[in-house]
Amino acid sequence: MKINPNVFRNYDIRGVVDKDLDAEKVEAIGKGYGTFLRRRKIRHAVVGCDCRLTSPAYKTAMIKGLRSVGINIIDLGMIMTQMMYYAQYRYQTNGGVMITASHNPANYNGMKLAIGYSQTTGPEEVREIKKIIDEENYFQSDKEGGCEEKNVTKDYQEDVLKRIVLKKKFKVVVDSGCGTTGMYIPKIFKKAGCEVIGKNIKVDGSFPVGTPDPTAKKVVDRVAKIVLKRKADLGIAFDGDGDRIGLVDEKGDILWNDVLVAIFAKEILERFPSSKIIYNTLCSQIVREVIRKNGGIPIMWKTGHSFIKAKVAEENAAFGGELSGHFFFADNAYGHDDGTYASLRIMEYLGEKNQTLSQLYESFPKYISSPEIKIGCPDEKKAGVIADLSIKFKKDFPDVEITDKSVIPDDDGIRADFSDGMMIFRYSQNGPYITIKFEAKDQAKYDERKKYVRNLLKTYPEMIWEDELCVNLESLD
C-alpha cells in the first residue's frame, strides 16, 4: 500500500483527507498497527474517534484493519482523546487508537496510536508501523478479531470527579469550538459544581467557527469577551479532541499555556518539594524561574505530547507541560494529557488558595511574550529551513545559551536564551509548518526581536504566509 510518507510523523499519523488519507489507507494503517501489536503479543485494543466529518468512517476502516489481523476491539464511539486513554485502564488493554487531527483544520485527519497505558508511539514505533505497511508484511491470523461497543462516558466522568474537590462554585466559560468536547465538558463541569456558560458547544465536525485551536489568539479572544461580559471566574477553550486547553482569567487576560505550566509546577512543588518538572522548548523563561524559585528541578525537553509524556515517566517527574496546552499529572492522575482534568485541577487550586486566577500568577516574573506562532512550510522543506536558519541564528547571537539537537537529542529546532527572554524556531512534528515564539522584559527589546524574526523568515521563499495552518501571524505585525 502506497501512502504519502509525510503522514507518518514523529508520534502521530496526520494528513489531508482524500489526498493523504482515505478509508482504504486507514484500513492498511489498521493492519500495520495491528501487526505491530501482535508482534508484542497484544490482542486487544480500544478505538474511538473525534467529531471530524470523516472520523466515523475512518474509525470503521481502522477497526476492519485491526480485526483482520486478529485484534479484538472495543469500539468507544465518538469520544475525547483522554477517554481513549482512560478506557485502556478500564478495559485493561495496551492497544488503543484515537482517530483525530486534534487542532488541525477540518480537512485534516489522523490518529494517535497507543503502545501501552497512557503512552503513544514515538519515532521508532511509527517507522516500524510504516515499514510493515510499505512491505504489506501483515500478521496472518487464523481468526478475525471480535468487536463490541462500550460506552465509557459514565465511568470516565466518575473517575475524573473522584480526584477533584472544588471548594467554591466557579462561573466558567466553556468554548468547545464545535469540537467533540461539547458533548462532555459542560456536563462534567456542572457535576463538579460549576456554573457553565457554553459557547460553540454544538458539535459540528466542519468547524464552522474556525479551527478549534486554543493556542490561537482569535479563539481565546472570543472567550475573553464572554468572560468580561458575564463576569465569569475564568474561561477555557478546548481543542477538537479535548486533550488541550487555552485559559483566560477573570480580567479577560489570556494566559499562554507556559504560564499555566508554571502555575501547575508551583502547586505540585508546594506538596512535593524538589520534584522534577518537565516542560517543552517553546516555554517562556517564566517556567524555569518559577520551578527553581519553588525548589523544583526544571528539565526542558523536545516538543510533542508523546515526547513529554515519555520524559515524565522516564524521569519519574511529578508533572510535565507544554505551551500547546498538553498537561501531564503524575501525582493524582494517569500521566497522560487530559483537558478535562487540567481544567478542574486549576479550579481546585484556586479554591484551595481562595484567590482569583490573576492573583495566582501576579507574583511570577513578568515578560512580554508572543503566543505560539505557526507559519506554513512544506513537510519536505521545513527541516532544511530550520537547519539553515540555525546557522544564521548562531552567527547573529554567538554569546547566548543555545538549545538544539546538540543539547536535546533529535530536537527539531533551535532556542536562544538571553538574560531577558528567549527566542525559538522549530519545525512541527504533526503538520507542514514552522513554529516560533519570542519574549523580552521590555517593549523595545520585544519589538526588536519581533522585527528580527519577521525579517529573517521573510528571506525564505519556502515560507507560506497565507495558509490554513497559519496561526497568530498578527503577532509579527
Query: How do beta strands 254-255 and 245-248 pair?
Result: antiparallel
Predicted confidence (pLDDT) at residue 63 exceeds the cutoff of 90: yes
Order the strands of the 195-199 sheet from edge to edge: 195-199, 171-175, 234-238, 245-248, 254-255
Question: Residue 429's pLDDT is what?
Answer: 86
Predicted confidence (pLDDT) at residue 195 exceeds the cutoff of 90: yes
165-254 shares its CATH topology with 368-476: no
Predicted confidence (pLDDT) at residue 10 exceeds the cutoff of 90: no
Question: Residue 142's pLDDT is what?
Answer: 95
Domain covering 368-476 in this structure, CATH number: 3.30.310.50
Are 320 and 311 spatial neighbours (Cβ–Cβ below 8 Å)? yes
Domain covering 165-254 in this structure, CATH number: 3.40.120.10
Question: Residue 1's pLDDT is what?
Answer: 84
Domain residue extents for the chain: 5-152, 165-254, 256-360, 368-476
Question: Residue 164's pLDDT is what?
Answer: 96
Name the phi and psi angles at 57, rounded to 5: -65, -40
- pTM, entire model: 0.95
* Average pLDDT over every residue of 373-398: 95
**pLDDT exceeding 90 applies to what percent of the chain?**
97
Question: Residue 145's pLDDT is what?
Answer: 98
Predicted confidence (pLDDT) at residue 221 exceeds the cutoff of 90: yes
Average pLDDT along the chain = 96
Predicted confidence (pLDDT) at residue 226 exceeds the cutoff of 90: yes
Residues serving a catalytic function are: 102
CATH superfamily of 256-360: Alpha-D-Glucose-1,6-Bisphosphate, subunit A, domain 3 (3.40.120.10)
Question: Residue 430's pLDDT is what?
Answer: 79
* Average pLDDT over every residue of 362-368: 95
Question: Residue 313's pLDDT is what?
Answer: 93
Predicted confidence (pLDDT) at residue 379 exceeds the cutoff of 90: yes
Predicted confidence (pLDDT) at residue 431 exceeds the cutoff of 90: no
Angle at 344 between CA 342 and CA 346, to 5 degrees: 70
Question: Residue 99's pLDDT is what?
Answer: 98
* Average pLDDT over every residue of 22-50: 98
pLDDT band at 408 (very low <50, low <70, confident <90, very high): very high
pLDDT band at 156 (very low <50, low <70, confident <90, very high): very high
Question: Residue 86's pLDDT is what?
Answer: 98
* Average pLDDT over every residue of 112-128: 95
**pLDDT exceeding 70 applies to what percent of the chain?**
100
What CATH fold (topology level) applies to the domain 5-152?
Alpha-D-Glucose-1,6-Bisphosphate; Chain A, domain 3 (3.40.120)
* Average pLDDT over every residue of 393-408: 95
* Average pLDDT over every residue of 96-104: 95
Predicted confidence (pLDDT) at residue 103 exceeds the cutoff of 90: no
* Average pLDDT over every residue of 435-451: 98
* Average pLDDT over every residue of 228-239: 98
